[in-house]
Amino acid sequence: MATVLSANLGYPRIGEKREWKRALEHFWSHKISKDEFLAKVKALRLSYLKKQRDIGVDLIPVGDFSLYDHVLDTAVLFGLIPDRFDQGEKEISLETYFSIARGNKDAEASEMTKWFDTNYHYIVPEISNRTQPRITRNRLLDLFQEAKQELGITAKPVILGPITLLKLSKGYDQEHFRTLLDALIPLYIKVLNELHQAGAEWVQIDEPILVKTLPEEDLAVFKPVYQQIKNGVPGLKLLLQTYFEAVDAYRDIVQLPVDGIGLDFVYGKAANLAAVKKYGFPADKVLAAGVIDGRNVWKNDLSATFAELETLLQAAGGKDKLWVTPSSSLLHVPVTITNEKELDPVLKNALAFADEKLGEAVTLTHGLNEGKAAITGLLEANKKDIETLQQSAHRNNQAVRKELDQLGDDLPTRPGSYRLRQQIQADAFNLPLLPTTTIGSFPQTTEVRQARRNLRKGEWTKAQYDQFIRDEIARWIKIQEEIGIDVLVHGEFERNDMVEYFGEKLAGFAFTRFGWVQSYGSRCVKPPLIFGDVAWTGPMTVKESAFAQSLTRLPVKGMLTGPVTIYNWSFVRNDIPQADVFNQIALALQKEVHALEEADIRMIQVDEPALREGLPLKEEKKKGYLHNAVYAFRLATSFVNNDTQIHTHMCYSEFDEIIEAIDALDTDVISIEAARSHGEIISTFEDFKYKKGIGLGVYDIHSPRIPSVDEIKSYAERALKVLDPKIFWINPDCGLKTRKPEEAIPALKNMVEAAKEVRQELSDRIEK
């Protein structure tokens, strides 16, 4: 009998308690041998497959598991090895694989970058004109056979498609795109044929590039490529999988010569659903319906989704033509909620991590096959769990609601223009030309981290801890004065993390114990949950800032994390619009800014290092996002007096799409990362005449290397070719928390010396 199937697109690698991370790091630090490592990761991999089977998933992926990154795996599979790591190995050794990802003593690692609009980072494949694509080892075949032999599972291999793979790669000239593609396709065919012969029925080919706004000529490539693949492996069924957004060219895509199409009905819901309804779905294909959110942590509204699936079932034309899936790989969510023992049950019952999401897919599939009555109990329980959180006090803070309702459409605006503020502030602060400052944090040494641990474990009293923090602040105020920095910071010693610190003090946030997700390689992050109405409950930073300011006559910047960054680095409730959450956070920060101003902190920096990464994938959505981001930032900052100086900071350098929004933040001073990308950003300011205070980072803080005075000067001098010295600040790329004091202090000394020399040169020039 024809049945709907449940399918998974990808499972988290890291393990319920980050066992994977530990295995990797132990291997890298030689604490375990290669054999032990391989045995460990194999056991993990098999346990994930088994778990998915126990949950009841019909189509379980293989090939999604990785020892570092799935894009790197695909590149390595096809021999796309950077020249500097290519030692002519037939099979790529584990050592080479990790060297590409992490670098080694002779060669720099490959670059990594964000995977679409997620917080996952992939290794960018490097292809040179010398690169000869070839199959190094068919790891998918190994994994497929492993699942079959060890567990009797006929898995669905997952592979990144050739077009997305090449589009994400760098180092080759665009005119070689076709040639490279022609070289890759026979290799894909060979890999797929081997899988088919080993018993695979379906393979999932991911082409997420299809959700981007693609030019005609790129879109046109899909048909011949997939025709060639289809002809090359006639018996194997191909699922072309997209995710993270709707596809623009729906009509062309559903006609491609494949056996199934996977669409995202969460992040691309409106447009994908509209397209299915308007144009129908081809009768000869499977529709893989991504109806369960693969990127957020909330329970699915199963009743609503069930109704949607009934519509999709109609469109697909039969139960054997529909799969129920998450909207993307579950790589982006934590593994399971079951280990969370300390969460408020009202919240916990409304959460679903990877395992629970697969359970939801299975439930929905069951309902479609057996009739809705078969899942009534589950639907009711689901409804109750969601409603309980919805109706709880957490989500019904009337004071916050009222403030939100009162917001107008116009952008909040500073009382005085920048020109006026500039004059007032120049008089108030009396800073030299090219003032020097830092970005906020100073080294988080072992002692600082130990102090936090002592407090957490109850070995220190709060008073002891506070005294330690005060001593650190005092020590570093003195260090900064001795170095000769003009605008000081307190050093952020009391902060573990720039979002968590605020989340712990604001209402509406919660923290899990094991809610980790992979960020890159073995690095995992544990994002806070913004689950309720966000509200300020009292000063968060005033004590430290005011104390620091009391120690010096130089200005000390107050230091906050901005609303957009707090949003983008959290898992966020999805029952209200993004702009409402931005504004709730902004209103809370507004109260903090106000409290700082009251405490006579006259410069306040509101960091937005994640503003750019929330930029939507679709062109038509970018403007709205940026508008909302600017609105929230200004809501938090723009009410201050003209003689309060608002700073912001961003540590990335791709500004082309956002420069106007950055200008619209209307900050008095912005610091931007620049040295890390070798000053590339400087050219942006040839075209865009930026007129407010700005500091382009004059040295890269990611490296322990101490930059020389001349090196720092050369960055400043290059920037001064396009920016007026009257608005220019001298600062490092980012905060110094990851550096050691013996690296930070001499580097800052050189920075101050460089500033002095450039100032001197400028005044000599004016005299001449």
Write the binding mask 598 to 637 for ligand GLN: x where contact by CB under 6 A, - elsewhere. ---------x-x----------------------------
Q: How far is the CB of 461 from ligand GLN (least distance, A)?
A: 27
- What residue 441 binds from Zn ion, ligand GLN, none (CB within 5 to 8 A, per partner kind)? ligand GLN
| 532-571 binders of ligand GLN (CB under 6 A) | 559
Q: How far apart are CA 285 and CA 129, in angstroms?
A: 38
Terminal alpha carbon distance of the chain: 91
CB nearer to ligand GLN: give 609 or 614: 609
Q: How far is the CB of 188 from ligand GLN (least distance, A)?
A: 39
Q: Which of 105, 108, 735 is nearest to 444 (CA)?
A: 735
Answer yes or no whether residue 734 interacts with Zn ion by CB under 5 A.
Answer: yes
Binding span for ligand GLN by CB under 6 A among 47-55, 206-214, 244-252, 437-445:
437-445
Q: How far apart are CA 552 and CA 600, in angstroms?
A: 13
- What residue 737 binds from Zn ion, ligand GLN, none (CB within 5 to 8 A, per partner kind)? ligand GLN
- What residue 287 binds from Zn ion, ligand GLN, none (CB within 5 to 8 A, per partner kind)? none
Q: How far is the CB of 501 from ligand GLN (least distance, A)?
A: 11
Residue pair 253/226 in contact by the 8 Å Cβ criterion: no
* Measured CA distances, 552 to 486, 547, 583 (Å): 11, 10, 34
CB nearer to ligand GLN: give 328 or 441: 441
Q: How far apart are CA 251 and CA 278, in angstroms?
A: 10
Q: How far apart are CA 389 and CA 89, in angstroms?
A: 56
Q: How far is the CB of 610 from ligand GLN (least distance, A)?
A: 8
CB nearer to ligand GLN: give 44 or 734: 734
- What residue 79 binds from ligand GLN, Zn ion, none (CB within 5 to 8 A, per partner kind)? none
Q: How far apart are CA 378 and CA 375, in angstroms?
A: 5
Answer yes or no whether residue 181 interacts with Zn ion by CB under 5 A.
Answer: no
CB nearer to ligand GLN: give 493 or 571: 493
Q: How far apart are CA 67 and CA 100, in angstroms?
A: 12
Binding span for Zn ion by CB under 5 A among 134-142, 362-370, 493-501, 603-611:
603-611
CB nearer to Zn ion: give 185 or 439: 439
Q: Which of 63, 412, 440, 532 binds ligand GLN (CB under 6 A)?
A: 440
Binding span for ligand GLN by CB under 6 A among 216-224, 536-544, 568-576, 729-737:
729-737
Q: How far is the CB of 734 from ligand GLN (least distance, A)?
A: 5
| 636-675 binders of Zn ion (CB under 5 A) | 651
Answer yes or no whether residue 489 interacts with Zn ion by CB under 5 A.
Answer: no
3 state SS of 157: strand
3-state secondary structure 448-512: HHHHHHHHHCCCCCHHHHHHHHHHHHHHHHHHHHHHCCCEEECECCCCCCCCHHHHCCCEEEECC
Active-site residue, from 196, 594, 627, 702: 702
* Number of residues written out for the chain: 768
Written as one string, the DSSP assignment of 8-34 is -S---SS-TTSHHHHHHHHHHTTSS-H
198: left (phi over 0), alpha (psi -120 to 50) or beta: alpha
Longest dimension (CA), the chain: 91
CB-closest chain residue to ligand GLN: 735
Is position 702 annotated as part of the catalytic site?
A: yes
* Tokens describing residue 106: 């002779």
- What residue 440 binds from ligand GLN, Zn ion, none (CB within 5 to 8 A, per partner kind)? ligand GLN
- What residue 665 binds from Zn ion, ligand GLN, none (CB within 5 to 8 A, per partner kind)? none
CB nearer to Zn ion: give 23 or 498: 498
Half-sphere exposure of 392 (CA within 13 A, CB side): 19
Using CA atoms of 416, 422, 424, 429 in order, give the dihedral in degrees to the nearest 10. Answer: 140
Q: How far apart are CA 541 and CA 498, in angstroms?
A: 12
Q: Which of 279, 232, 292 is nearest to 253 (CA)?
A: 279
- What residue 498 binds from ligand GLN, Zn ion, none (CB within 5 to 8 A, per partner kind)? ligand GLN
Q: How far is the CB of 216 from ligand GLN (least distance, A)?
A: 39
Binding span for Zn ion by CB under 5 A among 183-191, 252-260, 531-539, 605-613:
605-613
Count of residues interacting with ligand GLN (CB under 6 A): 13
Residue pair 702/667 in contact by the 8 Å Cβ criterion: no
Residue pair 59/52 in contact by the 8 Å Cβ criterion: no
CB nearer to Zn ion: give 254 or 734: 734
Count of residues interacting with Zn ion (CB under 5 A): 3
Angle at Cα 24 formed by Cα 145 and Cα 45, nearest 5°?
25
| 480-539 binders of ligand GLN (CB under 6 A) | 492, 498
CB-closest chain residue to Zn ion: 651
Long-range contacts of 309-315 (CB under 8 A, 24+ apart): 309/364, 309/368, 310/368, 311/273, 311/276, 311/277, 312/265, 312/276, 312/287, 313/4, 313/368, 315/276, 315/277, 315/280, 315/281, 315/287
Tell me how far the alpha carbon of residue 549 is from its chain's centroid. Answer: 34
Q: Which of 121, 634, 647, 649 binds ligand GLN (CB under 6 A)?
A: 649
**How many CB atoms neighbour CB 150 within 10 A?**
13
CB nearer to ligand GLN: give 439 or 593: 439
Q: Which of 263, 333, 439, 581 binds ligand GLN (CB under 6 A)?
A: 439
Q: Give the residue numbers annotated as catalytic, written as ranges.
A: 702
Residues that bind ligand GLN (CB under 6 A): 439-441, 492, 498, 559, 607, 609, 649, 651, 734-735, 737
Residues that bind Zn ion (CB under 5 A): 609, 651, 734
